[in-house]
Amino acid sequence: MNRRHFISLATGLTAASSATRLSTAVEFPIPVAELNLLEVSLADDPKNLIAPGAKLEKLWGEGEFTEGAAEGPDGCIYFSDIGNELMKFDPKSKKVSEYRNPSGRSNGIIFDSKGRMIVAEGANTGGQRRVTATDMKTGKIEVLADNYNGKKFNSPNDVAIDANGRIFFSDPRYVSNEPRELDYEAVFRIDPNGKVTRLETGAFKPNGVVVSPDGKTLYVADNGSRRRVLLACKLDKNGDTSPGKSIYDFGDGRGTDGMTITTDGRIVATAGKDDQSGVWVFSPDGKLEGVIRTPEAATNCEFGGPEAKTLYICAGVSLYRIETNMKGFRF
């Protein structure tokens, strides 16, 4: 099997089907000539997802477990290394440095319209189990929410923002010895006035979250032992949701982790395990358009760069990037 299958496109892929297996030998950088996207008939996008001449580039590989990449106002990529560090990659110098230690066990990261870094801080040793905002000019950390009705969150995991500045975050519990105060796992919304609302998404164990460009859909990864599906939840003008519709079922495979969105509404999500691990690209209605394979288990991704076409991927202990034909969306 050759390395051209590092990116594959699936037609009629179901939970029960299996995609082409990969070679275990991985060399970097990987030329785009060996990352061919298999052509299928697509009504909305017949183009390749990967930019001509692009290479999958390994930027850093010295972490414990990378997560939560997001581009800051300075053009740098901030990402979590779980353990308990928050790291920064500078595209100009191509150097990675420590931004915050301890990080409160930071996980998902996003920047709001004010340029603040919004961070989901998880559970376990050093975890603060809260959502914070960091002023990037002063470094001051503001706690946006750390409880719901007086009960400490489980382990805030991923964060998303809409055009009104409302913050959506998932609160599952995967691993921790700390006692739980909430007897459920849910998605919450933090309004600009600080009010925290539990949302009805239908997810049993929510993970990745992202808002569609038109602000009318909240995509939620339901990724646990009961099921592994991608949900599309209707989002009304007040920021409330109704239980979501499953638009993709991963069956026994590893479901969606962190994800982002493109200007044309594609859901760009990390998912899959072993030789199926990578960035899975879906149409807004859940049709699988392509999979960008990664040699380590992909956990989160985000667009950056001057044109928001560079896809940064957290995977395993590493940070990767690749140039694409897709353009990331930001409110």
User: With 90 as the cut, is the pLDDT of residue 327 above it?
Assistant: yes
Tell me: the pLDDT tens digits for 160-186? 999 999 999 999 998 777 889 999 999
Helix H, strand E, coil C: the string for 1-41 is CCHHHHEECCCCCCCCCCCCCCCCCCCCCEEHHHCCCCCCC
Residue 154 scores a pLDDT above 50: yes
* pLDDT at residue 261 is higher than 90: yes
As a whole-number percent, the residues of the chain with pLDDT over 90 amount to 78
- Is 328 a member of any domain? no
More confident residue, 99 or 17: 99
- On the question of pLDDT at 44 being above 70, the answer is no
Q: Could you tell me which residues are beta bridge partners of residue 86?
A: 80, 100
Binned at pLDDT 50, 70 and 90, residue 150 comes out as very high
Q: Is the pLDDT of residue 29 over 50?
A: no
pLDDT above 60: residue 99: yes
pLDDT of residue 55: 84
Sign of the dihedral defined by the CA atoms of residues 119, 123, 128, 131, in that order? positive
CA 115 to CA 118: how far, in whole Å?
Answer: 9
Structural domain of residue 88, as residue ranges? 3-323
Tracing tokens 């896809």 back to the chain, one arrives at 311
302 part of a folded domain: yes
How many domains does the chain contain in total? Answer: 1
Judge whether 220 and 211 are in contact, CB under 8 Å.
Answer: no
Query: Which pTM does this prediction carry?
Result: 0.87
In a domain, 304, yes or no: yes
Q: In what order do the strands lie in the sheet with 206-211?
A: 206-211, 217-223, 228-234, 245-249
* Predicted pLDDT at 43: 31
Under DSSP, the state recorded for 98 is E
Q: Per-residue confidence at 12, pLDDT binned at 50, 70, 90? A: very low
Q: What is the pLDDT of residue 76?
A: 98
330 inside domain: no
Between 53 and 241, whose confidence is greater?
Answer: 241
Residue 9: predicted pLDDT: 41
Residue 243 belongs to a domain: yes
Q: Would 91 be classed as within a structural domain?
A: yes
- Say which CATH number the domain at 200 has: 2.120.10.30
Model confidence at 18: pLDDT above 50: no
In a domain, 329, yes or no: no
Question: Residue 254: inside a domain, yes or no?
Answer: yes
Q: Provide mean pLDDT across the span 208-217.
A: 98
Give the pairing of strands 288-293 and 298-304. unpaired
